[in-house]
Amino acid sequence: MNSQVNIDVYMQEYTRDDIIAKYISDTAGAGIAYILQHVYAPVYLRSIRELKASRPKNHSFRVMEYGCGGGMNLLRIAELLRTEGVALERAYGVDFSPPMIEAARKEAQEHLPADLNSRLTYAVAGNENLMSDLCRELRSSRKELAGTFDLIVGVNTTRYAHRLEREKELSQDIFSLLRPGGHTVMIDMNKYFPFFRSRVREGFPQKGDGSYIPSLKEYTRPFKNAGFEVKVSRNFCWIPHSANPNLLKVCRTLGPVLDVFCSPLAMRSLVVGRKPA
């Protein structure tokens, strides 16, 4: 598949109401609600606390989630910043799907206090052209945007840049957008988790295929090559985002045992990078 065909296929999928429902809190399921609070939030907190310690006392943070979907991660990060006593200048949620961006705006209006919601900006931008799309949407130049973000997060979205063979460009754009000392957090599907539906149907798709899932090493390499200090590179999390309460209970019970004996097969890959100061 060429890049344009891939993008068209993804656009058809991520504009459907049933797909959008998986990315907003009222309909996403018990799994993602638990994961955001107990699995992803501790990862975000470690970066927030390290950044807070390294920034001037009255520094106001600028953060972004690329491939934000319905915006649940961005809302959680905004809430964590407030809990930690960190001033938020502005939080940006960007996604290539306009209906997803509209869903994210509604999510923020319904679930954030008005003063915090007023600090959120949403824009249509693709992972494969992140910097140029942001410049267009925010009516800013590359020079104006470069080095202005403290934290940039992508969850369940970086694999699409790999499928379009644009992972190098994405990592370089993130590096350019971050301030010195800034962090990026990437969470996405693990190639070696054995029970994804596409894996059961198709085995191991090859790079360039529309259902390709990278390995942890493949996720990590572009960030390292872009110049990041890779602070964390590991597999984690045994809970599906879409898990119902019964499946969530089973996964929570088995998770600690699986972490000990089978961690390379965990459901998610995690890469945390720091731009050198």
**In the predicted structure, residue 27 carries a pLDDT above the cut 90:** no
pLDDT value at residue 22: 56
Mean pLDDT of 73-92: 95
Residues 6+ apart with CB under 8 A from 81: 48, 61, 63, 87, 88
Give backbone dihedrals phi and psi of 26, rounded to 5 degrees, phi first: -70, -20
Chain segment 240-252, per-residue pLDDT in tens = 988 999 999 999 9
Average pLDDT, the chain: 88
Question: Who wins on pLDDT, 90 or 5?
Answer: 90
Two tokens at 96? Answer: 């290539």
Q: Closest by alpha carbon to 213, among 193, 232, 230, 233?
A: 193
Helices (H), 89-156: 98-111, 114-117, 130-138, 142-145
Tell me which residue range forms the domain holding 53: 3-274
R_g (Cα) of the chain, nearest Å: 18
* Nearest alpha-carbon partner for 235 in 208, 252, 260, 199: 260
pLDDT of 200 reads 42
Beta strands 178-189 and 268-274: pairing type? antiparallel
Q: In the prediction, which pLDDT does 19 show? A: 54
For 107-136, the pLDDT digits (tens) are 889 888 999 999 999 999 999 999 999 999
In tens, the pLDDT along 168-224 reads 999 999 999 999 999 999 999 999 998 754 544 455 556 656 678 999 999 999 999
Q: CATH number of the domain at 158, please.
A: 3.40.50.150
Given a cut of 50, whether residue 143 has pLDDT beyond it is yes
Q: What gap in Å lies between CA 172 and CA 232, rounded to an integer? A: 18
State the average pLDDT over residues 48-72.
95
Query: Cα–Cα distance between 96 and 101 in angstroms, integer?
Result: 8
In angstroms, rounded to a whole number, what is the distance separating the alpha carbons of residues 146 and 153? 16
Number of independent structural domains in the chain: 1
The DSSP element (H or E) to which 272 belongs, if any, is strand 268-274
Counting residues of the chain whose pLDDT is more than 90, the rounded percentage is: 72
- What integer pLDDT is reported at residue 211 of this predicted model? 77
Tell me which H or E stretch contains 124: strand 120-124
Q: Average the pLDDT over 52-63 and give the result.
A: 95
Using DSSP's 3-state secondary structure scheme, residue 72 falls into: helix
Confidence category of residue 24, pLDDT binned at 50, 70, 90: low
- For 128, which DSSP code? G
Beta bridge partners of 235: 269
What is the strand order of the sheet 149-155 is part of?
120-124, 87-95, 60-66, 149-155, 178-189, 268-274, 229-236
Quick one: pLDDT band at residue 26, thresholds 50, 70, 90? low
Please report the pLDDT score of residue 159 as a whole number: 94
Helices (H), 28-183: 30-35, 41-54, 72-83, 98-111, 114-117, 130-138, 142-145, 158-163, 167-177
DSSP state of 203: S
Q: Which pTM does this prediction carry? A: 0.89
- Provide the pLDDT for residue 5: 43
* pLDDT tens digit sequence for 86-98: 999 999 999 998 9
